[in-house]
Chain A
Amino acid sequence: MMSLLMAGACSAQMPGGAANPPTPGVQALPSSFDASGSSAKKNSNDPAHQGETPNPQLLGIEMPLLDPSTDTVKYNGGMFDVGNNAAVRARFEKYLEQVPDNTAESKRYRALMRDMLKQTQRAGRDRNYAVGGDVLIKVGKGLYQASEYPGDANQSGALASAIVSALDVQRESLVRTRDNEKIEKEMNGLIKQADNWQNYNVARKTAISTASARPSTGKKGGGGKIDSGGDINALRIAQNIKIAAKKEATQAANLATNESAKLASKLNYQAMLMALLLSRRFDHVVIGARIYRHIYRDGDTKLNLDEKSKAHEVFTGGVGLPPTVNAIDSVASNMRREVDQSIQSVYGMLARNKLGEATQHLIEAVAIGEYMQSVATFPTEARQRIAEFWTLRKRALTALNARDYATVEQVAAKMKELDVDFDDSLLLTYTTGKKRQSDLAIRNASKALRNGDEENFNKYITEAGIIWPRNPNLDKGTEMLAKIDAGDPVKEEFKRLYDGKEFRRIAREREHYKIVATDPDLAKKYEEVIALVMRMDGMLEQIKTVAQQDATLGPCMAYEKLVEWQKSDENFAHDTDMTLALKDFESKAHDFVQALREGESCEQRGEFGSALSCYYRAQCKYVQSTLARDGIKRVMDIIVRAKYE
């Protein structure tokens, strides 16, 4: 029962209600988190919902049905979250911005409504209270007065018109009934007259037959002519019968017209009650339902619903009894009580700073009983407190729909500040999951880039962007993309540096040249360069450490080792750091290096004696010198082999 009414509450709001379209390739976002936790989404194409029974229809109009367990309304093939429907949100926000309706005009209006409710209630309870008449007049007057209040939206006028229309039909029926009574009397007169005539004829026939049976008295021609015995009023009798038959037909037609008019009238009136119920004018529904028996005094309050419809089931309560107007009265009365209780609970929650729950209850109260006094007079201060929380909730939803998870978390934190009992677990779990998903995609993109897999890089980086568009790590991915876009010049530059053996520069700007890894050949070279430079750095570090252990021999040893390395590997000879280190040790082991250089110079000039002396000197500086030993050996061999004058 409640669901239908809440559905009615939303019926006027549905047209604007749009669900969040699911993002392709991405899990559907939750558009609601505080009440139901379920998304408001169109599910007409959802296989899970295919084959469901369509919503009941009343007088050809589909009735929205609400599922209280999820706070969602099914309407026109879609599921809408009551708390997260655009129209509901807009209406609720409008309500929060409105000032409480405490004007003199509204007070007078509510007093009128209260009075009418009392009148109808009294008429229902008091046996001695006359049915019809006074009540109808008072209620009718009250309704027309109430319709002058702008907030009534002329609902009272419409109800009054419905009542008048029903009464008009009743009046017409009464006229026809009276006509029938008159026809009945006329028919009775005609029949009586016809009977008289018939009786006269019978008596006359009897007299004639008696006279003809008596013997003749000799009077010839005495007594005149004898009647043949025919009916003298036969035509009149026939005319009367014909007229009576016509009147009877008219009478039957009047009866039929009365019945059909009554049925149509009832249908119209019941439709009006349903319309008022769906537009949440519960006071009007109660008044209209209670006045029903004053209009239709036949005691028939049965609702004319299709027995197979859900609405029929809703109003019968599943007990198999026929739905009645009294059921509408009951439903409306219940909803009035529910709304009042919701508002009372909102006050209690606000007192305990439970803004989240208070907001949710107020949404429901507004959605169901927007026009009720308890809702309309809800105080400004309380509205402002809820509006503040509602704004945050809206921001959270907007950020959630925009997949801006960082903002969602910030807003959730603020909501938690306002309401310590606010359950942000669903929000945070969702955002954390999405953030991790996005980061994982970025990591995969990075991995793909390292492997030179541009296709997968693009795939993963796009995926990461879709999941969390404002992921700060995406900037890195964007930089990577930019590098890929500008990859060719970098590749060319890398090739030039590689060919020029400027490995040290490549290593220094390794992040810049990382992009060349998209080319498998260049990736291999890039890895080689980085490994070589790292190896050279390790060697230099090692040689410097050893050289520091002996201030005299250390530099000699280091110099000789560096020379040896540079001779053994061309790449080492081109390395700037290694060359700088060599120069450094060269200055520190100046005498040793100079002796070696002089030795080489002498060798070139053919001064082998001097060269040998130089190498000996170098050996004196660093006994374990391989360069000196090799020079000595080399020069000795030449000196010994030569022939002297």
Chain B
Amino acid sequence: MGGIIKSSIARKVAMALSGLFLVVFLAQHFTINITSVISPDTFNEWSHFMGTNILVQGVLQPILIFGVIFHFVMGFILEIQNRKARGDVGYSLFKGSANSSWFSRNMLISGIVILLFLGLHFYDFWIPEITTKYIEGDMSGMHNGEFRYYEETVEKFANDPYRTGLYVLAFVFLIFHLLHGFSSAFQSVGFNNKYSKALKTFTKAFAIVIPLGFAFIAIFHYVSHL
């Protein structure tokens, strides 16, 4: 196994699999978040389930955290290796736009923006949640006799144009990252055949629709409290 993970193909497959796992997580995260626009009660119930279920908290959450860290660390390692591979002297003129998309050549930039966003997102939601549940020991999910999840989410965006703006900006970069990354993952695991064209259409639609959906949720909660 050690031999496999050291090879360039193993590294790209590892990046692809961790990326695909994170894409599945995004879809799941979006499914729950969109209920905050449609039905606050449903959002509260699903959030409470995800926040207190042993399987989700004890197994899926650690795997998710590992997946996120692995994807970023491996991404940076690959970037360093790739820069070294060009040699000590780079091109004075490199016309990347002639043969590839901006998104595919700048996964590092979109990735760093998403990483910075995750810092803000963890500060906003994950750290307070972990503090309440595992440090203060309050697993009830209640505040003043009602579920607290919906109110906690909404109050982050209500009357805060800067936070809303930062979230929307991050989601734009998430589009950039997914536009290349999602379809690229299938090529990395060796999936390139007659179905690839249709798959690429789906991945591009997903890359645009899901982040725009997240942006819509943030803007909705901001606008509805103006």
Q: Do A and B come from one complex?
A: no
Contact surface of B with A, Cβ cutoff 8 Å? none
